Amino acid sequence: MMTHLELLEQLRQITGAPNVLTEGDLTAWELDWRKRERGRALAVVRPASTEELAAVVKACAAARVSMVPQGGNTGMVVGSTPDASGTQVVLSLTRMNKVRALDAGNLTITVDAGCVLQNLQEACEEAGFLFPLSLASEGSCTIGGNLGTNAGGTQVVRYGNTRELCLGLEVVTSRGEIWNGLTGLRKDNTGYDLRHLFIGSEGTLGVITAATMKLYPMPVSQLTAFAAVPSLDAAVQLLSLAHRYLSSGLTGFEVMGQFALSLVAKHYPQQRVPFWQESPWCVVLENSDNESEAHARECFERLLEAAMEEGCVTDAVVAESMAQAKALWHIRESIPLAQAEEGLNIKHDISISVSRIPEFVQETNALLLQHFPGARLVIYGHLGDGNLHYNVQAPVDDDQARFLLDEEAPMNSLVYEVVDRYNGSISAEHGIGSLKAEKLEHHKSPVALGLMRSIKQALDPLNLMNPGRVIRDN
């Protein structure tokens, strides 16, 4: 068997020595975004092409060295950083960042997996198209990471998760073979759809190296409104009205609790957050219109009038310009950053049928505060998709590290037990990583877990691809 030193030498020959990092400050690759775990890599390898990546995987497999695919390292569940053993190789995709082709007639774009999401959005916009995936981390996350986690974001209510936007993939398998499935076909029923195995597999089955994604015509107008709503029930009622009045024009519907908005006001005082002091909840919603801005405004006005009449909106502003719309969205997108400024926290990325969310929150809040008095609830998220970030900040003046150590496990159990009773999911959009791998075993049926293990065994028999993530070692 090849030694680690021999492997490193081989990797240097494949990618060039400057692209095999073993020394110096590797924090950017070894520490997860939430600063939950610090790992240690044998090396961070940065291939420049699919062929180089395939050769790297072959070499690591021959040496029986496990690999951790990594894009922008913005994941929320500790899935893209190495463990503490110092024996894993991080496969960083960020040098593979080119747009390969744009097919305007077919409404598709083919792109390297390491392309930063914002660069992809901009390339599409320059060509007159919309690539609708949108997350607050878009300046750093990559399309490969988005596919690896099946990311959601703020446009799912209209365009679906990353999975729905993907037509084809190119993948390097755990053996180092290249599977070219880069098709732009919208209909293809030729056996098992392999693309869907890799999407959402969090680097545990193979490495996504490129993808063919769907494009949409750029809407003529994208209008944003920010509304104060008196309760979560009212927010759900507003969502129903928005579906009715805006139909497929409804492209975003996010809810934000008062405490979540207070954190933005506290940590980013330069942002002017409307209504947060007087309203328990606010909603940001977006209407995309293919006719005209005047038509978009008219639809929004009708919706907001009806909502005020029914008492589900108490006040609202509609952005007058693109800059104002961006500022309103920026408030929503700043919540996870403001939470990080406030300190370490516990995240629950859950989904429940939209209609049952108010009842769920009422029940869980009561239980949680009974068991963890003083805990501060940071509730916000993609209400249009039934996806809440039901997050918790330590009580004021409590030691944050102690809070996490002592309270995270019992608090997760409490929240997930209620999620189960509501037939919800313990991970709506962030994935499982290592943070939720143990929990998954309690929330999936034995049959489902057995099928997942069979897939893992078939595609990665040596358990070298991101081991311990999603499905734990048997």
386 is a contact residue toward ligand MLT (CB under 6 A): no
CB atoms within 10 A of CB 295: 16
Listed ranges 100-108, 199-207, 244-252, 318-326: which one lies at the site for ligand FAD (CB under 6 A): 199-207
* Shortest distance, position 9 Cβ to ligand FAD, whole Å: 25
User: Is 227:307 a contact under the CB 8 Å cutoff?
Assistant: yes
Binding at 110: pick from ligand MLT, ligand FAD, none (beta carbon under 5-8 Å per type): none
Residue listed under structure tokens 């060039």: 16
* Rounded distance between C-alpha atoms, residue 429 and residue 389, angstroms: 10
* Rounded distance between C-alpha atoms, residue 239 and residue 233, angstroms: 10
389 is a contact residue toward ligand MLT (CB under 6 A): yes
90 is a contact residue toward ligand FAD (CB under 6 A): no
136 is a contact residue toward ligand MLT (CB under 6 A): yes
Name the residue whose CB lies closest to ligand FAD: 145
Binding to ligand FAD, residues 157-186 (CB under 6 A): none
* Shortest distance, position 263 Cβ to ligand MLT, whole Å: 11
Binding at 151: pick from ligand FAD, ligand MLT, none (beta carbon under 5-8 Å per type): ligand FAD
User: Is 184:154 a contact under the CB 8 Å cutoff?
Assistant: no
Long-range interactions of 267-271: CB distance < 8 A, separation 24+: 267/334, 267/337, 267/338, 267/341, 267/342, 268/334, 268/337, 268/338, 271/327, 271/330, 271/331, 271/334
Listed ranges 141-149, 229-237, 254-262, 409-417: which one lies at the site for ligand FAD (CB under 6 A): 141-149
Binding at 33: pick from ligand MLT, ligand FAD, none (beta carbon under 5-8 Å per type): ligand FAD
Q: Which residues contact 472 (CB under 8 A, 6 or more apart)?
A: 437, 438, 441
- Looking at 214, 347, 348, 469, which residue binds ligand MLT (CB under 6 A)? 347
Q: Which helix (H) or strand (E) holds 132?
A: none
Binding to ligand MLT, residues 356-385 (CB under 6 A): 381
Maximum C-alpha span of the chain? 74
Binding at 345: pick from ligand MLT, ligand FAD, none (beta carbon under 5-8 Å per type): none
Binding to ligand FAD, residues 105-124 (CB under 6 A): 113
348 is a contact residue toward ligand MLT (CB under 6 A): no
Query: Residue 165 is which amino acid?
Result: L
Q: Which residues contact 414 (CB under 8 A, 6 or more apart)?
A: 364, 367, 368, 371
- Looking at 62, 136, 197, 440, which residue binds ligand FAD (CB under 6 A)? 136
* Shortest distance, position 325 Cβ to ligand MLT, whole Å: 18
CA distances from 154 to 133, 252, 384 (A): 8, 6, 9
Binding at 347: pick from ligand MLT, ligand FAD, none (beta carbon under 5-8 Å per type): ligand MLT
Binding to ligand FAD, residues 448-467 (CB under 6 A): 466
Binding to ligand FAD, residues 418-437 (CB under 6 A): 429-430, 433
Name which of 142 and 288 has its Cβ closer to ligand FAD: 142
3-state secondary structure at position 29: helix
* Rounded distance between C-alpha atoms, residue 388 and residue 146, angstroms: 19
Residue listed under structure tokens 């509304």: 227
* Rounded distance between C-alpha atoms, residue 433 and residue 451, angstroms: 18
CA distances from 233 to 196, 280, 356, 359 (A): 35, 12, 9, 8
Binding to ligand MLT, residues 298-337 (CB under 6 A): 335-336
Query: What does the binding site for ligand MLT look like in residue numbers (CB under 6 A)?
Result: 76, 136, 335-336, 347, 349, 381, 389
Binding site for ligand FAD (CB under 6 A): 33, 68-76, 79-80, 93, 113, 135-137, 141-142, 144-146, 148-149, 151-153, 202-203, 207-208, 336-337, 429-430, 433, 466, 469
